[in-house]
Structure 1
Amino acid sequence: MEIGTIAMAVTYLIKFNVIPDQRARFLGLLEGVLDAMRSEPMFHEAILHRDPASDCRFMLYETWEDHDDVLNVQLHRPYRRAWHAALPKLLADDRDITVWQALRADRAQRKD
């Protein structure tokens, strides 16, 4: 097991309740955003989760190097425009967004 301290990166937990007939469009637009942000220098990781009790509830775990960069640069990237514009028509209610800072990370060691 690897145990380490974490730099001052910031993690966003974003929960989405998608309108059932908009699920495919939601995932298609989100896939484009996730693919594009992967190459951003301040990006650490993103993990998309689906609620096992609902095909239309998702949680995105997204970690970036700097909160100010996310607010002032990343949210304004051109590849996010269609995604943000479509959200009101895709979601049954507003996103639930919370901001977190990691204190510790534990990961299984690879046995390569």
Structure 2
Amino acid sequence: MSEAYETYVITFHVRPDQLQRFRALLDPVLDAMRHETTFVYAALHIDPDRPNQFQLHETWSNREDVLQVQLHRPYRANWHAALDELLEHPRKIEIWQQLWSASAEADA
């Protein structure tokens, strides 16, 4: 991976009664964004001890594209509009630059 790639680490605390809706709105966004030209990788994680806490890692090759284009894609509109209803408190967003990576798939 290039040093220019950035990963957006987003933590969500979902209201327990909104878990199904959270996934119903997020999953189509994840499916759509993986076809974008500046998309690199994404993974959604769940805390095994707290089933209403999720963490999303999105890696993109161009920050300006993420901020100016990707966040405004029509397929994200319903997801963004519902966040206040879905979450116990605002999501936490951090930006990280990757220094090193390895994958068992790359060795296969």
Alignment TM-score, normalising by the size of structure 1: 0.91
Q: Tell me the CA shift for residue 72 of structure 1.
A: 0.4
- Which residue number corresponds to residue 82 of structure 1? 78
How big is each residue's C-alpha offset from its partner over 1:41-78, in whole Å with a ceiling of 9 and x where there is no partner? 10001100000111100000100011111000000000
The ranges of structure 1 where at least 4 consecutive aligned residues each deviate by more than 2 angstroms after the TM superposition are none
Q: In the aligned structure 1, how far is the partner of 2:59 from the partner of 2:5?
A: 7
Q: Tell me the CA shift for residue 34 of structure 1.
A: 0.3
| 2:36 counterpart of 1:22 | no
Q: In the aligned structure 2, how far is the partner of 1:82 from the partner of 1:6?
A: 32
Tell me, what secondary structure is at the counterpart of 1:49? strand
- Which residue number corresponds to residue 8 of structure 1? 4
Aligned AA (2:25) = L
Alignment TM-score, normalising by the size of structure 2: 0.95
Q: In the aligned structure 1, how far is the partner of 2:27 from the partner of 2:63?
A: 22
Q: In the aligned structure 2, how far is the partner of 1:50 from the partner of 1:104?
A: 24
- Which residue number corresponds to residue 103 of structure 1? 99
- Give aligned-pair identity as a percent: 51
| 2:68 counterpart of 1:72 | yes
Higher helix share: 2
Q: Tell me the CA shift for residue 7 of structure 1.
A: 3.5
The size of the alignment, in residue pairs, is 106
Q: In the aligned structure 1, how far is the partner of 2:5 from the partner of 2:59?
A: 7
Rg (Cα) greater in structure: 1
Q: Does the CA contact (< 8 Å) of 1:6 and 1:104 recur in 2?
A: no
